[in-house]
Chains A and B, each alone.
Chain A
Amino acid sequence: MRRLLRGALAQGARLFGTALAVALAVTLVSGTFILTDTVNAAFHQASADNGGTADVVVRSTSLFATQANSLPEREPVPESLLSRVTSIAGVKAAWTAVQGYAELVDKQGKPIDAKGLPTVGSAVTPDVALAAGRAPTGPGEVAIDAETARKNGLQLGDRIKVLFSGSTQEFTIGGFLQAAGDVVASTKAIFDQVTAQRVLGVEGKVDAIPVQAEPGVSAETLRARINAVLPDQYEAVTTAQVARESAESWTKAVAFLPTALLIFAAVALLVGAFIICNTFSILVAQRARELALLRSLGASPGQLTASVLCEAVAVGLVGSLVGVAAGFGAARGLLALFGRMGFQLPSATAVFLPRTAVIGVAAGVVVTVLAALAPARRATQVSPVGAMSGADGARTHGAGGRLVVGAGAGIAGLATLLTGVLGGGARPTIAVGIGAVGMLVGIALLAPLVAGRAARIVGAPLVRLFGEPAFLGRENAMRSPRRTASTAAALMIGIGLVGVVAILAASVKASASRTVDDSLRADFVLTPTGLGGAVSGVPPAVVDRLRATPAVATVSEIRGGQWGLDGRTQTLLAVDPTTVTAMHEVDAASGAAVRRLDDAGVLVRDTVAERYGWRVGDKVPMTFARTGTRNMVLQGTFSTNAVRTDFVITLGAYKANYAQIFALSVDVALAPGVTPAAGRAEIERALADYPVVKVMDHAQVIAAQGDQVDRLLVPVTALLALSVVIALLGIANTLALSIHERTRELGLLRAIGMARRQLRSMVRSEAAIIACLGASLGIVVAVFFGWALVASMRALGVTELVFPIAQLAGLAGLATVAGMLAGVLPARKAAGLAVLDAISSDR
């Protein structure tokens, strides 16, 4: 056994590429875990820090936990409750907390951009920590966070404007707040209690009452005691509980991230598996003679399989360990990048759990061994005599099984995919995804059937361009279709997925733009600048000002919120039924339904109503965080994709059930005869005090939607690009191994007069042909899957199918060029061979 292993170690260098492929994929796996763990730990840490010195918090009950990182959607608590709480035995101190929207404006009059993160205004509390100055007192004083002050060059004593939901006011900066352990850098403004209540519009009320326990009284005991005397609609919870809730809401908000990242990691591993399988196939073929010799010396088939598998385990282990370490580095790099972008995590150290290493290494090793299994089995099928005589005995073995599995996977995948396209099943998009994976595997397994012919066609222009060297390169690519096919297949997967994303993005953009063109009748749409955090939006005062502007004929506000249905979070939009249909033209039935809607009713998307078995007139039990479960009457259904949610209520119903006062967007129609330019000028003048609101015409709305798509698309493409990189690595690896195998041929070519330059050109041509094959297959696959995916997403509003031809062609071209570049090193190695040594080598 040891002797067998030594043979394996001798080829260590040749396994370098394989180990690197494993390492890259595992980097993504472990990086994902480290990043997720770090972010979660940071959320918990920050949430715990935010509790301050209180042990228990008194607040209104909420019947429904909001999903995202919003400030809790709760009724305020009457200020009078404070005295009752203070009188409870065991309470050392209690105070009030008031929080709301307050955005700071810099010296130039522009709002200090918190990049969509909360801009919080609150009342001073006894446990506030000041970095400089004093706590604010009186109606004209504010304390702001030291970080914002530093970044904007604000000094103590400076005057600063603050935007509230109802007004803009000027204050004197009296103090700087010490940085608390916030998850995200947000701007903070603190006022004295009365001022805070006034500017935040909650006179006489507070959001919560934090309570400190006397020594010897546990938070839990105190909580129980307070709860016993509180009316039903209020509750006391420990700050630990609040921290937990807050951390959970954060964690939930980013929960999609690890799943998404792990999917990309799985893709990378799949691509890596192709390369591993290929490498081991080549190595086994090259060692056929050695293995046959061992067989004839009495090694059992089991021993040979074991020796190849040991090699796989070793490669997988080395690659995975490197990958885990690299994942740690990558996660730290990303965290640093987040910090640069403003998402400064309080605990800067990356969290590395043993679980990360275990899963990373296990994934790497298991994939490597699985991928090496078929080649390892083939090693044992070498008949001693056949291999000794130099015949390539391992060529056709297992071809039948491969075709059967390939055809099976392909057909099953196609069937699954088509059910998704036809809209069958609960989640058509997922059916398409699963079907696509099956088809990819099928195509990869069947590809060797056509790889030879395909290489001939793909290589034709190269041969015309570069002559004999390209011709020889093409012959080399065609001589082992399986090797060429599986190397190309790895690239196909990477390019295919990048292509699908490009098609999806183009289609989503086109659909959004189509919707705007078809249905948007408003002249302008007003939205908050930045990413639109939960506490910011278009302030109600803006709506009032717009109504008072003569150039504006109609103003229609749209708000959004979350609610619960059987414990699951849903979203809704709230509209003004009398004006919204003038702003958004929808199909007649949907429009009529909206116009009939009143405050007791809800409109539901037709497909959703069907899924729940609701009919018009039925009651829909909607649970609101503030007001509990309301039975809303289903007054109609709609089908239009112009509405980006499944549920619509009136603004009246919204105001009755939500404390939120900001609009997601406000649509504006100009008075007859007012030109767009004049209208915009007048609107902007009216909103001069509200720099947080941007005014968009149709083109700008389309552009903003495109931006949103791109913001998602860029990181996704970057992550998929890693798979492409692994596939390119595979090309380099395959070529390096092939060159080793063909040393003698290369020597012969040089001896009969092939120039080094021509030899390099030959190897690069082979690389380019493989890459071009993979890229073109990838584009074909992308076009098909893109079509399927978009078809399956029609119900989600993706109605247009767009193939970004230039982009796809560019992608294929880029991949081919990159493939050629991947061939540069092997080519140089080949050209560097000494002619005579090469000829007399035993390969």
Chain B
Amino acid sequence: MTMLMRAPTTDTETRYPYLVSSVPAARAVNAVKLYGNAETSVRALDGVNVDFAPGCFTAIMGPSGSGKSTLLHCLAGLDTLTSGSVAIGETILGTLRERQLTRLRRDRVGFIFQAFNLLPTLTAAENITLPLALAGRKPDPDWYDTVVDVVGLRDRLGHRPAELSGGQQQRVAAARALVSRPEIIFADEPTGNLDSRAGGELLAFMRRAVDAFGQTIVMVTHDPVAAAHADRIVFLADGQVVDEMFDPTAERAIDHMKQLGG
């Protein structure tokens, strides 16, 4: 496992690896998303400008209805913007066609939903390797072992989702997102359905993925304790980025949310 760790070269890079890179892992520029028709239209995203640096664990917080899920969906290529643009690495999603978007989701992006992340017919192992199988690729055995061990699911690999607890299911989903080594993982309230212990395990796992493997993660959450695991919090309100915070703690996050009137 140590082999796979990035060897830190400077002190700055050790502490804030994302500050070093010039190309963001994902970026939104003037992102606008309207729902509904002219009269009843909702501005879910109202000119969002945000960068997500590689190797950084970012949390997105904001009141309900502020556009967090919408932003994540648009960034992950699951939805399209009304205007503005989003990019994964140097790829601008608006220019991609359906087939290319699908390939992007499969090869370059990982996604963890709040619930129902797994196919009930497949075992945990099959679920983890599903994106690779769809790409017709074999998982790198070392990396696969590493991921499985980090998630702590080795003795559950042959089980089907119905035989796993909610927390285990979410960890399988996280392993699936990780195993294809995507450039970026999006997670929409991944701990929303978990109790604090299971949630804690999942967050620890994500943190580890970032620290040990340089994985980029963007996570939406309502929970300040969860957000405190991140390197940075982006605050959204009424479809706009209103603030951000580096190296957050739960207390500072709570305070900030209160200021936003959430």
- Chain A residues within CB distance 8 Å of chain B: 467-469, 471-472, 475-476, 478-479, 744-745, 748-756, 758, 835-836, 839
Residues in chain B near residue A469, CB distance under 8 A: 134
Closest chain B CB from A839 CB (angstroms): 7
Selected from A472, A744, A835, the residue in CB contact (under 8 A) with B121 is A472
17 example contacts (A-B, Cβ-Cβ < 8 A) are as follows A472-B119, A475-B121, A479-B121, A748-B119, A749-B130, A750-B102, A751-B78, A751-B111, A751-B113, A752-B131, A752-B134, A753-B103, A753-B105, A753-B131, A753-B134, A755-B102, A836-B79
Residue interface mask B113-146, A partner, CB < 8 A = 1 = 1001111111000000011011110000000000
Please name all residues of chain A whose beta carbon is closer than 8 Å to the beta carbon of B176 when the two chains form the complex.
752
Is B73 on the interface with A (CB-CB < 8 A)? yes
Q: Does B106 contact A (CB under 8 A)?
A: yes
Instruction: Chain B residues near A744: list those with CB within 8 A.
Output: 116
| Cβ-defined contact, B117 with A748, below 8 A | yes
Interface contact B122-A752, CB-CB below 8 Å: no
- Across the interface, B102 reaches (CB within 8 A) one of A472, A748, A753, A836, namely A753
In chain A, what residue has the closest Cβ to B113?
Answer: A839
Bound CA span A315–B28, Å: 53
The 8 closest A-B pairs by CB, nearest first: A753-B106, A475-B121, A468-B133, A753-B105, A755-B102, A479-B121, A753-B131, A752-B131
Shortest distance from the beta carbon of A760 to any chain B beta carbon, whole Å: 13
Give CA–CA (A750, B109) in the complex, Å: 13
Q: Is B98 within 8 A of A756, CB to CB?
A: yes
Identity of the chain B residue whose Cβ is nearest the Cβ of A754 in the assembled complex: B134
CB distance from A209 to the nearest CB of B (A): 84
With A475-B121, A755-B106 already in contact, 20 other A-B pairs whose C-beta atoms are closer than 8 Å: A468-B136, A475-B119, A476-B121, A745-B119, A749-B130, A751-B78, A752-B105, A752-B130, A752-B131, A753-B106, A753-B107, A753-B109, A754-B102, A754-B106, A754-B134, A755-B99, A758-B134, A835-B78, A836-B79, A839-B116
Which residues does chain B contribute within 8 Å of A471, judged by CB atoms?
Answer: 133
In the complex, which residues of chain B have a beta carbon less than 8 angstroms from the beta carbon of A756? Answer: 98-99, 102
A479 touches B120 (CB 8 A): yes
Size class of B's contact patch? Answer: 20 to 34
Report chain A residues within 8 Å CB of B133: 467-468, 471
Q: Which residues of B contact A750 (CB under 8 A)?
A: 102
B190 CB, min distance to chain A CBs, angstroms: 14
Q: Give B131 Cβ to nearest chain A Cβ, in Å.
A: 5
Q: In the complex, which residues of chain A have a beta carbon less than 8 angstroms from the beta carbon of B111?
A: 751-752
- A543–B131 alpha-carbon span in the complex (Å): 83
Check A836–B73 contact: CB distance below 8 A: yes
**B residues bordering A, Cβ < 8 Å?**
73, 76, 78-79, 98-99, 102-103, 105-107, 109-111, 113, 116-122, 130-131, 133-136, 176
Q: Which residue of A lies closest to B104 (CB)?
A: A753
A476–B119 alpha-carbon span in the complex (Å): 10
B178 to chain A, nearest CB (A): 12
Residues of chain B within 8 A of A758, CB atoms compared: 134
Say whether A478 contacts B121, CB under 8 Å.
yes
Which secondary structure dominates where chain B touches chain A?
mixed
Q: Given the complex, which residues of A lie within 8 Å of B120, measured CB to CB? A: 479, 745
How far in angstroms is the closest Cβ of chain A from B147?
A: 15
Q: How far is the CB of A795 from chain B (nearest CB, A)?
A: 53
Most buried by A among B103, B105, B107, B136: B105
Residues from chain B with a CB closer than 8 A to the CB of A752 are 105-106, 110-111, 130-131, 134, 176
* A479 partner residues in chain B, CB cutoff 8 A: 120-121
The smallest C-beta distance from A832 to any residue of chain B, in angstroms, reads 12
Which residue of chain A is the closest to B108 with respect to CB atoms? Answer: A753
**A754 vs B130: C-alpha distance in the bound complex, in angstroms?**
9
Residues of A within 8 A of B121 (CB): 472, 475-476, 478-479
Give the distance in Å from the alpha carbon of A749 to the alpha carbon of B78 in the complex: 12
Query: Would you call the interface of chain A mostly helix, strand, loop, or mixed?
Result: helix
Considering the chains assembled together, what is the distance between the CA atoms of A835 and B109 in angstroms? Answer: 15
> Could you say which residues of chain A place their CB within 8 Å of the CB of B103?
753, 755
- Give the shortest distance, in Å, between A412 (CB) and chain B (any CB): 37
**Cross-interface CB contact of B122 among A475, A754, A836, A839, cutoff 8 Å:** A475
CB < 8 Å neighbour of A748 from B73, B107, B116: B116
Smallest CB gap from A753: residue in B: B106
Report how far A754 CA is from B78 CA in the complex, Å.
12
State the CA gap A839–B116 with chains docked (Å): 9
Contact present for A753 and B135 (CB under 8 Å): yes
In the complex, the chain A residue whose C-beta lies closest to that of B129 is A468
Chain A proximity of B149: nearest CB distance (Å): 22
CA distance A619 to B155 in the complex (A): 88
Chain B's closest residue to A757 (CB) is B99
Residues of B within 8 A of A751 (CB): 76, 78, 105, 111, 113
Cα distance, A468 to B99, chains bound together (Å):
17
User: Complex: how many Å from CA A652 to CA B11?
Assistant: 123
Which residue of A has the minimal Cβ distance to B76? Answer: A751
Nearest-Cβ distance from residue B118 to partner chain A, whole angstroms: 8
Q: Which residues of B contact A748 (CB under 8 A)?
A: 113, 116-119
- A478 nearest in chain B by CB position: B121
Closest-by-CB residue of B relative to A477 is B121
Q: List chain B residues, Cβ under 8 A from A836.
A: 73, 78-79
Looking at the assembled complex, report how far the CB atom of B13 sits from the nearest CB atom of chain A, in whole angstroms: 31
Q: How far is the CB of A748 from chain B (nearest CB, A)?
A: 7
Q: How many Å from the CB of A332 to the closest CB on chain B?
A: 48
Task: Name the distance in Å between B204's Cβ and chain A's nearest Cβ.
Answer: 23
The residue in chain A whose Cβ has the minimal distance to the Cβ of B119 is: A745
Give Cα A658 to B132, complex, Å.
85
> Could you tell me the distance between the alpha carbons of A475 and B120 in the complex, rounded to whole angstroms?
10
Nearest A residue to B123 via CB reads: A475
- Cα distance A476–B122 when bound, in Å? 10
Question: In the docked arrangement, what's the CA distance between A230 and B109, Å?
Answer: 106
CA distance A472 to B122 in the complex (A): 8
List B contacts of A472 (CB < 8 A): 119, 121-122
Which residues of chain A are near B116, meaning CB under 8 Å? 744, 748, 839
Q: Which listed residue, B76, B102, B136, touches A467 by the CB 8 Å rule?
A: B136
Report B121 CB to chain A, min CB distance, Å. Answer: 4
Cα of A785 to Cα of B210 in the assembled complex, Å:
66
| Complex-state Cα separation, A469 to B136, whole angstroms | 10
- B73: chain A residues at CB < 8 Å are 836
User: Which residues of A sit under 8 angstroms from B110, Cβ to Cβ?
Assistant: 752
| Residue pair A468, B98 in contact (C-beta under 8 Å) | no
A476 to B121, CA, bound (A): 7
Determine the distance from Cα of A755 to Cα of B77 in the docked complex, in whole angstroms.
13
Closest to B133 in A: A468
